[in-house]
Amino acid sequence: MKNEDSFFFEIQGNPLESPSVVKKLEFSCNETLNVWGGINLMPQILRAMEISDPPFYARMQAFYLALNHDGILNERCSSQILLDLFFGTQSFGLYPLTVIDEIKSLEKQGVSKTKPATPFRGSHLEGLWHKHYMNGDVASLAQNVKNALYEYGIPFFQEKIMEAKSAGEERFVTKEDVPKIVNDVLTNNLARRRSEGKMTGEWIVYAQNEGQNFYLCLAKHNDGDEEIREKIERICVREFPFLKAGGASLSARD
């Protein structure tokens, strides 16, 4: 079974390079369809890249081979999430193994370090799921510190208040107390949150279909639902047509 559709695809180059490059690939989607009736786009993207920019292709190929040594990035991973992993690592300080670890947890091959997966509730992404991955960057760390402070407060400080009340004394924070307070906020609270599986981070967006997970893309908390949906429709729907058919409820809503 063949598909003769023409396909244009733009790849954003490394924004840290000067000038930033947008690679525009054009190729014909005439490959054999996959078992879900979709097109295997990644081999074609790589083939077009090999022709247009061999050194860049070599970097991408080496990255995927190193990252996928145990085969976790299989045919249920879209081309979009593979590209997100590569460019996120190259340009934005992504730690790709944190994503791989959470995918393994969803595949029952490992233990998650973040809170459980949850479904999207907005109309644009209804039917899809997201799982947090902890990237270890400053933004993720700050969000977890904020959440932990809201949930646990500062136990060391609260203990000191209770001790003063029990003794009937008025006490003040000393210079020696400050490092202990900071340690409680930054280290102990994060350890509490981690032990309870409540660490938050950015998102792995995925669909469920016929008892299997299909990994679509990476997204940030501040990405709009419409932006994420556009990203999915540009590539993922071509690879996994059940998304458009409503299997994961991405059917058109106007």
**Residue 177 sits in which domain range?**
138-195
Statement to judge: residues 86 and 127 lie in one domain: yes
CA 235 to centroid of chain Cα atoms? 17
Give residue-wise pLDDT tens across range 152-167.
Answer: 777 777 787 787 788 7
State the pTM of this model.
0.71
Give residue-wise pLDDT tens across range 187-225.
Answer: 776 677 666 655 556 899 999 998 999 999 999 877 888
Q: How confident is the model at residue 170 (pLDDT cuts 50, 70, 90)?
A: confident
**Alpha-carbon distances, residue 15 vs 54, 80, 87, 185 (angstroms):** 19, 18, 10, 35
Could you give the CA distance from residue 212 to residue 167 in angstroms, rounded to a whole number?
Answer: 60
Specify the pLDDT at position 206: 96
Could you give the CA distance from residue 79 to residue 225 in angstroms, rounded to a whole number?
Answer: 20
Higher pLDDT, 162 or 76: 76
Specify the pLDDT at position 125: 92
CATH number of the structural domain spanning residue 26: 3.30.2310.20
Residue 251 domain-assigned (yes or no): no
Statement to judge: residues 104 and 212 lie in one domain: yes
The structural domain count of the chain equals: 2
